[in-house]
């Protein structure tokens, strides 16, 4: 071993090799030697995969369930074309064991190629997280034809606001966990240049987090538009907060109903929203805005990451496919106290959150209700499921108000047979 190691570090690349080996997981496989061989090859000869395998005995996330010593041994020394490694993918899941009753994902992608290079790990994670969707045998439908939506106007005595969001990634640039400063700034440049071409009710302006005035910052806080530096260990362990707030910002139209976050958890987070219950109008604006943004980006020689198996490619495997979350803030004072409430939501493939967002409790009798699925169904299907489901919840609430009984609906199938 000693003589092998001596040969490995001899020559002009000694400093580079030693620095990389001493830099830990982030540097594994990150640098190239003079002959084009990855520095990870040196580490491979020094330590077997069994010595590197993480202790996941107390973990509850999709990554920990899928990662075996055999898969780790096969993939540990692989790298994507952008030098992203398996250990970088799983670091957030290693550092954050999860909750006994809440199963998180536990891994992120550093670039589009992550999902192929590390498919032996990511495919079972995708299947676990997306209720059996098999990325090797199934294809994902995309449909942004908002004219297909029916019954999209909610009873506004119950629904207070409506919103649809998704993410998009720029092909050829590393995703936020792995991007260099230059790549992050290029994402910002490409997006801001394209967004300047939006016209009519979509026209607006961009606010850089690092350059906005105090007055602009306060206005964005008042509008509930501003996003903060990530503090969640799930995100910081995935390298999301590096160089904050460099090249991060918020764009919104003049009416404040179409919003795009740049370089938060994904290259872009696209949101259409408004007060009240007109989900059909919110989704129409969402589809129209997405199409125009994509056309403007393509005119400048770029495109979004997409393939027929995974749909739109985003940082977290949980957001593959549509990346879509359609939601409403809805008052359900009686139904929310009914012991059947959770089962009704599950059968309608809906999820509830507090109105403060993910991981927040409900305030009073108002809930954030949204679709549970992302992958395997189209945008139109998911929004229609949300509409039909929320209308059912409202009907249940009205029946309970009248002292009438309600029934638990039959479960909706995840995929068509």
- Secondary structure class of 367 (helix, strand, coil): strand
d(CA 44, CA 292): 47
d(CA 334, CA 40): 59
Consecutive H or E run containing 206: strand 204-208
Residue 220 pLDDT: 84
Least confident span in 38-47, 157-166, 186-195: 38-47
Q: Where are the beta strands (DSSP E) in 117-246?
A: 159-168, 204-208
Least confident span in 170-179, 184-193, 206-215, 250-259: 206-215
Name residue, tokens 């536990």.
106
Residue 107 pLDDT: 97
Query: Does the pLDDT at position 36 exceed 60?
Result: no
Consecutive H or E run containing 349: none
Name residue, tokens 């330590």.
47
- Six-digit token string for 265: 């958890």
Residue 393 pLDDT: 97
Mean pLDDT (the chain) is 89
d(CA 397, CA 147): 28
Query: Residue 373 phi/psi, 5° resolution?
Result: -100, 155
What percentage of the chain reaches a pLDDT higher than 70?
A: 86
d(CA 279, CA 414): 22
Reported as a single tens digit per residue, the pLDDT across 214-268 is 888 888 888 888 888 888 889 999 999 999 999 999 999 999 999 999 999 999 9
- The CA distances from residue 206 to 156, 192, 220, in Å, are 32, 7, 12
Q: Which residues pair with 250 in a beta bridge?
A: 207, 261
* CB 293, CB 203: distance < 8 Å: no
Q: ω before 245 within 30° of 0 (cis)? A: yes
Name residue, tokens 């929320």.
390
d(CA 87, CA 76): 7
Q: How many residues does the chain have?
A: 417
Query: Does the pLDDT at position 13 exceed 70?
Result: no
Query: Residue 92 phi/psi, 5° resolution?
Result: -65, -35
Mean pLDDT computed over 72-86 = 96
pTM of the prediction? 0.86
Mean pLDDT computed over 66-74 = 98
Q: How confident is the model at residue 27 (pLDDT cuts 50, 70, 90)?
A: very low
């Amino acid at each position: 071993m000693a003589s092998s190691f001596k040969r490995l570090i001899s020559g002009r690349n000694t400093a580079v090799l030693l620095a990389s080996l001493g830099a830990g997981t982030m540097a594994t496989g990150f640098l190239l030697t003079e002959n084009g061989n990855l520095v990870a090859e040196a580490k491979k000869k020094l330590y077997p995969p069994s010595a590197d395998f993480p202790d996941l005995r107390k973990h509850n996330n999709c990554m920990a369930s899928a990662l075996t010593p055999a898969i780790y041994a096969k993939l540990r020394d692989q790298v994507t074309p952008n030098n992203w490694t398996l250990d970088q993918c799983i670091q957030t899941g290693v550092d954050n064991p999860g909750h006994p009753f809440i199963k998180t994902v536990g891994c992120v992608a550093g670039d589009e190629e992550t999902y192929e290079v590390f498919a032996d790990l990511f495919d079972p994670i995708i299947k676990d997280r997306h209720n059996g969707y098999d990325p090797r045998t199934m294809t994902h439908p995309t449909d942004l034809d908002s004219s297909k939506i029916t019954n999209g106007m909610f009873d506004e005595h119950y629904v207070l606001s409506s919103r649809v969001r998704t993410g998009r990634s720029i092909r050829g640039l590393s995703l936020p966990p792995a991007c260099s400063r230059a790549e992050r700034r290029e994402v910002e440049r490409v997006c801001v240049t394209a967004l300047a071409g939006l016209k009519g009710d979509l026209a607006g302006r961009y606010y850089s987090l690092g350059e906005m005035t105090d007055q602009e910052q306060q206005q964005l806080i008042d509008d509930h538009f501003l996003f903060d530096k990530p503090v969640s260990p799930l995100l910081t362990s995935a390298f999301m907060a590096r160089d904050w707030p460099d090249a991060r910002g918020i764009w919104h139209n003049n009416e404040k109903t179409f919003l795009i976050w740049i370089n938060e958890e994904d290259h872009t987070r696209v949101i259409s929203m408004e007060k009240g219950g007109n989900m059909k109008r919110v989704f129409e604006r969402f589809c129209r805005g997405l199409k125009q943004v994509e056309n403007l980006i393509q005119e400048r020689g770029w495109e979004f990451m997409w393939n027929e198996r995974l749909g739109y490619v985003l940082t977290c495997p949980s957001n593959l496919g549509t990346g879509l979350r359609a939601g409403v803030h809805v008052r359900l004072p009686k139904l929310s106290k009914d012991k059947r409430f959770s089962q009704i939501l599950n059968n309608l493939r809906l999820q509830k959150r507090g109105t403060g967002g993910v991981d927040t409790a409900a305030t009073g009798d108002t809930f954030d209700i949204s679709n549970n699925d992302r992958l395997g169904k189209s945008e139109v299907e998911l929004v229609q499921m949300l509409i039909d489901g929320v209308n059912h919840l409202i009907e249940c609430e009205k029946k309970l108000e009248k002292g009438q009984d309600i029934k638990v609906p039959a479960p909706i199938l995840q995929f068509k047979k």
